[in-house]
């Protein structure tokens, strides 16, 4: 049996990437929490791994939608049950700018309420 050694990760070298990914993930999490009933803990509202990155999974709110951080293709993808799609490239924009794009997508579809304080 062969043992595979993973390379050592230098946490200081990925601070900007870590912080950006955290900020982007919070946007998805904020929408997920806003659209799910409150419970004692928020474990039911965590992001899930997908084949391409992280996803909210199907969210049943005013409209059924899904948001995904597609880390393979470098974009934020949004899909609404009616067929509308969002494909926002992740190009280092601020979390606030990305949150605005998601809010505009969901609110413009006329089916989701604006989430206050996201980002």
Structural domains counted in the chain:
1
Does the reported pTM lie above 0.75? yes
Per-residue confidence of the chain (119 residues) as pLDDT tens digits?
Answer: 788 888 888 889 999 999 999 999 999 998 888 887 777 776 667 899 999 999 999 988 878 899 999 999 999 999 998 889 999 999 989 999 999 999 999 888 765 555 544 44
Is residue 8, in this structure, part of any structural domain at all?
no
Is residue 7, in this structure, part of any structural domain at all?
no
Instruction: For residue 13, report the phi and psi dihedrals to the nearest 5 degrees.
Output: -80, -15
Is residue 27, in this structure, part of any structural domain at all?
yes
Is residue 116, in this structure, part of any structural domain at all?
no
Is residue 69, in this structure, part of any structural domain at all?
yes
Domain that holds residue 25: 13-108
Local structure of residue 62 (DSSP, 8 states): S
Listed in sequence order, the DSSP H helices in 46-91 are none
Is residue 114, in this structure, part of any structural domain at all?
no
58 neighbors 48 (Cβ within 8 angstroms): no
Is residue 104, in this structure, part of any structural domain at all?
yes
């Amino acid at each position: 049996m062969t043992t595979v050694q993973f390379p050592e990760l230098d946490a200081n070298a990925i601070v900007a990437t870590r912080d950006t990914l955290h900020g982007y993930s919070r946007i998805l999490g904020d929408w997920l929490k806003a659209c799910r009933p409150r419970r004692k803990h928020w474990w039911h509202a965590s992001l899930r791994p997908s084949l391409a990155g992280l996803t909210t999974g199907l969210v049943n709110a005013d409209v059924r939608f899904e948001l995904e951080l597609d880390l393979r293709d470098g974009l934020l993808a949004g899909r609404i049950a009616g067929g509308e799609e969002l494909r926002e490239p992740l190009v280092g924009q601020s979390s606030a700018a990305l949150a605005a794009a998601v809010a505009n997508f969901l609110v413009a579809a006329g089916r989701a309420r604006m989430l206050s304080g996201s980002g």
